[in-house]
Amino acid sequence: MPDKTGGSGGSGGASDEGNEDPKYVVVGRSPGDVKKWGTQGAILLGKQYVERLDRLFLENDVYMDVSGAHVVMICGKRGGGKSYTMGVIAEGFSLLPKEVRQNLSIILLDTMGVYWTMGHANKKEAKLLEPYGIKPAPVEMKIFTPERYFKEYKKKGIRTDVPFAVEPHQLTGEDWVLAFKQDKYSSNGLYVQKLIEEIRESKER
Q: Quick check: 7 pLDDT over 80? A: no
Q: Is the pLDDT of residue 14 over 70?
A: no
201 located within any domain: yes
What pLDDT is recorded for position 9? Answer: 38
In a domain, 9, yes or no: no
How confident is the model at residue 20, as a pLDDT? 59
Is the pLDDT at 146 greater than 70? The verdict is yes
Q: Global pTM?
A: 0.68
* Higher-confidence position of 2 and 82: 82
Considering the domain boundaries, does residue 199 fall inside one?
Answer: yes
pLDDT computed for residue 34 by the predictor? 92
* Alpha-carbon distances of 137 from 106, 120, 122, rounded to whole Å: 18, 7, 7
- Note down the domain range covering 202: 166-205
180 forms beta bridges with: none
Instruction: For the chain, give the percent of residues with pLDDT over 70.
Output: 89
> What value does the mean pLDDT take over residues 37-60?
87
13 falls within a domain: no
How many domains does the structure of the chain reveal? 1
Within a domain: residue 196?
A: yes
